[in-house]
Chain A
């Protein structure tokens, strides 16, 4: 039968071993992410857009890269599917784009800020996401 000391070493050694592997994989991932996310396109404008996205807590209603809230549409590919003008209209007056629908917040962004957010969503749409979101089965 397993002794208490044996169980303790199972815990300590297992934890140390897998944490070491995890650190190694983290190192490798951080090296590859710039390629996979096209960091060369991460312009100051995109960064401004990201900061606006965070400050406005868009993730409190939407998902992006599949993370966030489930109340509003997934935004990873919205630049591709709906385009820049559509996004800017949403950021100006959501009611006008989707009359009577579930409510988005009405923000008071300047034109420049809207462009920043569009640039951010464009950058997001170009990340290589290993096949997410998947194409619907019958299309």
Chain B
């Protein structure tokens, strides 16, 4: 750690760990409901569990991105953060808003719009909070003499993510228009601006971990994010097939979203070649493993499994089934969850001064969580395909099909247990790494 203010990242990372743990708890509530043990129904009905599960996911990822920015921006910009105190104020206000939202969900304080359930009053607080964050890192970059592409792309991604939160606040009495702008947030985030954040953080990690020349890495970064927007902006059409929007979206959405996997493929090839070329002599090989897992599993989950149901003649059968759930899990895990875990694995030893990445338990966390998530995705996938064939293609009744596919959810819960053991190991390593240290210094000097 070169600058004192980088340790602000620690608090965001710790908050991410807490929310990740809670997210998994709600996942289990739903998993058990699906095998007939909806025992918490009176207290936490399925819709409360689901809303909490997905919102916790989004918030812990955003908290992870913010932490990453607080760590990376001073390092790339070669100066302290402009307003460290504001960083801490922003952290606490984020925590208060997030906790309030989660508690509120249990009292039906929400808007019933998938992924954007946070009530309007809190939306405004989120906006203020994010403005404070953007101002802080923006000013830090603006005043620094060293302007790198990596930092620029991360900043631009975060700024655009903040901007694209706003369309989610457009109200309409027409369900179709509501949904139309909901996708401006959900799709343009995960298949647009968040990919910039992902590309930027991966570049930072690869530069640090492989020692490859920055110019080479950053050139490919531009190509990849170029591909992202080239395909991803009009690729939004894959959500406009069947919601009451004009039918030209069928071929526009089909064509451009079919190109979206290219950006993820590019990201995977980029990470693999760079880490091969760079020689593997950085002490923190585990962070490199997480980076590679991120780039590869994002291609599998977002690219490959996204492509599997993105063409309109397939999507007309799979739209709104567990096939979507399958894709949602591995895409979010590969692209964004493992990204946050990668940057934490790299940055935490720098912040706390303790190196636990070489331990068996840290290694276990990596393998158990990744294998567990791939197995969970498989269980969702088998259940989803069976649902599509039986319910959508053959016309069997919804509930009858759900009984038919119930065994796959036992499989899901077993896989989720393996996954959770990995996450618990990860959190254990996090806690054992201790609190931020007071002194400065490079921990990776050999």
Contacts and interface: CB of A to CB of B under 8 A. Distances in A.
A86 interface: no
Nearest to A101: B399
B395 A139 contact: yes
A133 interface: yes
A57 B234 CA distance: 29
By secondary structure, the B interface counts as helix
B174 A61 contact: no
B45 A103 contact: yes
Interface string B167-180: 00000011111011
Interface residues of A, number: 67
Interface stretch (B66-74, B220-228, B345-353, B432-440): B220-228
Nearest to B188: A22
Contacts, number: 198
B48 A14 contact: no
A105 B387 CA distance: 23
Contacts of B260: none
Contacts of A110: none
Contacts of A67: 114, 179, 182, 243, 320
Contacts of B230: 14-15, 18
Which of the listed residues B34, B249, B250, B392 has the most CB atoms from chain A within 10 Å of its own CB?
B392
B237 to A, nearest CB: 8
B245 A65 contact: no
Nearest to A17: B230
Given A56-B112, A67-B320, A70-B321, A131 B233 contact: no
A78 to B, nearest CB: 11
A139 to B, nearest CB: 5
Contact of A4 (B112, B215, B252): B215
Contacts of A3: 219
Contacts of A71: 30, 33-34, 46, 50
Contacts of B387: 70
Interface of B: 30, 33-34, 36, 38, 41, 45-48, 50-51, 108, 110-114, 117, 149, 173-177, 179-180, 182, 215, 218-220, 222-223, 225-226, 229-230, 233-234, 236, 240-250, 252, 316-317, 319-322, 324-325, 387, 392-395, 398-399, 402
Top 7 nearest A-B pairs by Cβ distance?
A60-B47, A136-B395, A132-B242, A66-B320, A7-B222, A57-B112, A11-B226
Interface of A: 2-4, 7-8, 10-11, 14-15, 18-19, 21-22, 25-26, 28-30, 32-34, 36-37, 39, 42, 46-47, 50, 53-61, 63-74, 98, 101-103, 105, 124, 127-134, 136-139
